[in-house]
Amino acid sequence: MVEVKGVSKRYGSKAVIDQVSVSIPKGKITSFIGPNGAGKSTLLSMISRLITKDDGDIYIDGEDVHQAKSKELAKKVAILKQTNHLNLRLTIRELVSFGRFPYSQGKLTREDWKHVDEAIRYMELEDMQDKYIDQLSGGQRQRAFIAMVIAQDTEYVLLDEPLNNLDMKHSVQIMKVLRRLTNELGKTVVIVIHDINFASCYSDYIVALKDGKVAKEGTVDEMMDRHVLKDIYEIDMKIETVNNEKICVYFK
Amino acid sequence: MKKRYLIVALIVLSILSLFIGVTHISPLDLFNLTDDQTQIVWKSRIPRLVSIIIAGVSLSISGLIMQQLSRNKFVSPTTAGTLDSARLGILVSLILFTAASPIEKMIVAFIFSLAGTFLFMKILDKIKFKDTIFIPLVGLMFGNILTSISTFFAYKYDLIQNMAAWLQGDFSMVISGRYELLYISLPLLVIAYIYAERFTLAGMGEDFAMNLGLSYKRVVNIGLVIVALSATLVVLTVGMIPFLGLIIPNIVSIYQGDHLKKSLSHTALLGAVFVLFCDIIGRIIIYPYEIPIGLTVGVIGSGIFIYMLMRRRAYE
């Protein structure tokens, strides 16, 4: 379980995250939603110790994230940020093998390579594993990065806008993989996501942030409510149920 | 390109290099050298060969490390002010400690080149406009500012001739007793090899490195120390060799990718082969005179550099 207790982050005098407390359940997909500038990515980065916090505490399985050894934490939490434009020429297989760094420190054992192969297979990248990252399409590249995170084999997987710039097919593919990661491998997945309908169809738990505070949190049923969403996004929308999924219509 | 072709080329060129020069020594004489010839071989030819190889290897690898750490293909000791700050350091050591020993010069020059390289990396952090071409231009300007400072003081203290010696890389001055400092580069290369994987990781960005539990700042600092020290050693013993750290890693990157573990040995070999080749050309083109290596590498290197700029879009 991830516990965030009274955490704040200020840039200058502006609080980007203001006294946020939230618990993220284990073995589930949790989505952070909210308008631009709500502090979703900042919160995710603080949970994964990529940026420092100004106040409060963050615990993962009872361990203080910002006190823990970075090396050890890398075996427990993996984060993928949205800006992964690499200008290094690496093959998919090389990239994925970096996921084993926390375990191998560069000297990969047979066991490590087994994890690499599995991760590549999991993301269906076998055919192109020796291709260079810069020759791939956006969707393939995103899959390669997720394969690396899978090879890292952490209990917690944090993804910052994993669907950014992906078409529908690839978005669905990624979300299905995340679903499988939780269902089959028991991982805890936390994502920042803009598409409210993807959040609705694939998450177990939704946390809505607004102006650096938690506006509301709850299960999909509790969150996919027109009054709740209107408070968060300040536009009118209709919630329809299609194939037992709650779909939010807000386009006009 | 296969690694064994590079190794063969290195061996062939090394042998050639030993037997080219004003004093005629043929491979057939090898087992009954006259005293003069023995002197030439041990005092001049072998030191020259060794220094060519070490300088070629260490400047190429410095360039490779810099490119990964700065995440820019066009950053190298030449385009980041490293060589210029090393030169400023040598000048300062000459002015302040007139009778400085080579080791003292090296230490002062190393401190300067390290400070210069760090300063450049800090400037890089501050620049919001991260265009691939813009950054090396900033580095070149930065280097030129340092060079003008050096020139100013060199004029003032009547050291301009001294300075010109390090302006232009030249292997003809390398004789035994004057190049041994270069051997300090060897342990640096070993460290570079040990850290190869980490440099590549750091090259993927701070967030990326931190996610995998790498202490980013430490790795970057180790990389910059290796770069600054090996560049200093080359400037001190041989002089400036431009473009080397720029073109060699880029050529290797095209066919071998950027995983340092895979590309490091290729970069080292190609660097040595390239400098050897340029040195041999410089030695035969106006035989029995010599064109300094800085010039040969400068001409050939800038040609390759322009070609790489043109095809940049092709592989970006």
For residue A197, name the pLDDT band (cuts at 50, 70, 90): very high
On the question of pLDDT at A192 being above 90, the answer is yes
Q: Does B312 touch chain A (CB under 8 A)?
A: no
Residue B50: how many CB atoms within 10 A of its CB?
17
pLDDT digits (tens, 9 = 90+) for B164-177: 766 677 787 788 87
Separation of alpha carbons A45 and A23, rounded Å:
16
Separation of alpha carbons A160 and A39, rounded Å:
12
Report if residue A20 sits inside a domain.
yes
Q: Does A245 touch chain B (CB under 8 A)?
A: no
Separation of alpha carbons B94 and B109, rounded Å:
10
pLDDT for residue B278: 92
Question: Of A52, A73, A89, A134, which to mutate for an interface test with B (greatest number of B Cβ within 10 Å)?
Answer: A89
Q: Which of A48, A70, A72 sits opposite B215 (nearest CB)?
A: A70
Cβ separation A94–B257 shorter than 8 A: yes
Q: Which of B197, B200, B315 sits opposite A88 (nearest CB)?
A: B200
Cβ separation A74–B212 shorter than 8 A: yes
Cβ separation A90–B71 shorter than 8 A: no
* Domain spans, chain B: 51-315
Residue with tokens 């406009």: B129
End-to-end CA distance of chain A: 39
Residue B196: list chain A partners with CB under 8 A.
106
Domain CATH for A63: 3.40.50.300
Question: Of A79, A83, A87, which to mutate for an interface test with B (greatest number of B Cβ within 10 Å)?
Answer: A87
pLDDT for residue A32: 93
Under 8 Å between Cβ of B69 and B196: no
The two tokens of residue A227 are: 């009054």
Which residues lie closer than 8 Å to A120 by C-beta, 6 or more apart? A92, A93, A96, A126, A129, A147
DSSP A94-133: HHHHHTTHHHHTT---HHHHHHHHHHHHHTT-GGGTTSBG
Beta bridge pairs of residue B263: none
Report if residue A133 sits inside a domain.
no
Q: Does B200 touch chain A (CB under 8 A)?
A: yes
Going by the DSSP 8-state scheme, the letter that residue A91 receives in this structure is B
Task: Indicate the number of domains in chain A.
Answer: 1
pLDDT for residue A166: 85
Determine the distance in angstroms separating the CA of A80 from the nearest CA of chain B, rounded to an integer: 8
CATH code that applies to domain B51-315 = 1.10.3470.10
A9: containing domain:
1-68+156-162+187-252
Q: Does A72 touch chain B (CB under 8 A)?
A: yes
pLDDT digits (tens, 9 = 90+) for A92-140: 999 999 999 999 887 888 989 999 999 999 888 989 989 988 888 888 8
Under 8 Å between Cβ of A91 and A67: no
**Average confidence score pLDDT of chain B:** 86
Backbone angles phi, psi at B12, to 5 degrees: -60, -50
Determine the distance in angstroms separating the CA of B222 from the nearest CA of chain A, rounded to an integer: 16
The two tokens of residue B92 are: 């300062």
Tell me whether 0.95 is exceeded by the ipTM: no
Report if residue A181 sits inside a domain.
no
pLDDT digits (tens, 9 = 90+) for B237-270: 888 888 899 899 989 988 888 888 889 999 999 9
Residue B169: what residue type?
Answer: G
Chain center to CA of A23: 15
Which residues lie closer than 8 Å to B159 by C-beta, 6 or more apart? B91, B94, B95, B153
Under 8 Å between Cβ of B167 and B294: yes
The two tokens of residue A63 are: 């361990």
Separation of alpha carbons A162 and A174, rounded Å:
8
The two tokens of residue A187 are: 């991982």
Separation of alpha carbons B216 and B35, rounded Å:
55
Q: Does A34 touch chain B (CB under 8 A)?
A: no
Residue A161: list chain B partners with CB under 8 A.
none
Residue B68: list chain A partners with CB under 8 A.
88
Residue A49: list chain B partners with CB under 8 A.
210
Under 8 Å between Cβ of B167 and B239: yes
Report if residue A112 sits inside a domain.
no
Determine the distance in angstroms separating the CA of B197 from the nearest CA of chain A, rounded to an integer: 6
Cβ separation A98–B253 shorter than 8 A: no
Interface contacts (A, B; CB < 8 Å): 73
**Average confidence score pLDDT of chain A:** 89
Report if residue A176 sits inside a domain.
no
Cβ separation A75–B213 shorter than 8 A: yes
Beta bridge pairs of residue A24: A2
3-state per-residue secondary structure call for A128-178: HCCCEHHHCCHHHHHHHHHHHHHHHCCCEEEEECCCCCCCHHHHHHHHHHH
The two tokens of residue B288 are: 């029995």
Question: Among the residues of B71-159, which ranges form H helices?
Answer: 82-96, 102-126, 134-156
Residue B204: list chain A partners with CB under 8 A.
86, 88, 98
Under 8 Å between Cβ of A64 and A58: yes
On the question of pLDDT at B95 being above 90, the answer is no
pLDDT for residue B223: 92
pLDDT digits (tens, 9 = 90+) for B113-166: 999 999 998 888 888 776 777 888 888 899 999 989 998 998 898 888 877 766
Q: Report helix, strand or coil for B100.
A: coil
Report if residue A244 sits inside a domain.
yes
pLDDT for residue B312: 65
Backbone angles phi, psi at B136, to 5 degrees: -65, -30
Nearest-Cα residue of chain A relative to residue B213:
A71
Separation of alpha carbons B96 and A72, rounded Å:
49
Report if residue A15 sits inside a domain.
yes
Separation of alpha carbons B7 and B269, rounded Å:
7
The two tokens of residue B307 are: 């070609």
